[in-house]
Amino acid sequence: MSRFLLAASVAVLFAVGPAFAADETALPPPNAKKLSEIIAKVEQRDGFRYVKEVDWDKDGYTVTYYTSDKAKVEIVFDPVTAEPK
């Protein structure tokens, strides 16, 4: 019975562990530009066709988009200045 209880406890820790780790994800700084402003800049680029994905990490917003000639473009934007890095 104690082995079962130990195994169940370990299983619960493994299941709940990632939830605690998710709380440590870096957030944009309080003075960051709105994401909509950054996307608007991307939409004004030459040959822009559509945005595929936007990711956030400690380096900034990574915007992946495609051009009208089907080229894939990835740009990292500074969250405070909304300028490409």
Nearest in space to 42 (alpha carbons), one of 61, 23, 58, 29: 61
18: tokens are 């990632």
Please tell me whether residue 4 adopts helix, strand or coil conformation.
helix
23-81 residue pLDDT tens:
677 899 999 999 999 999 999 999 999 999 999 999 999 999 999 999 999 999 999 99
Within the chain, how many helices (H) and strands (E) appear? 2, 3
| pLDDT given at position 13 | 60
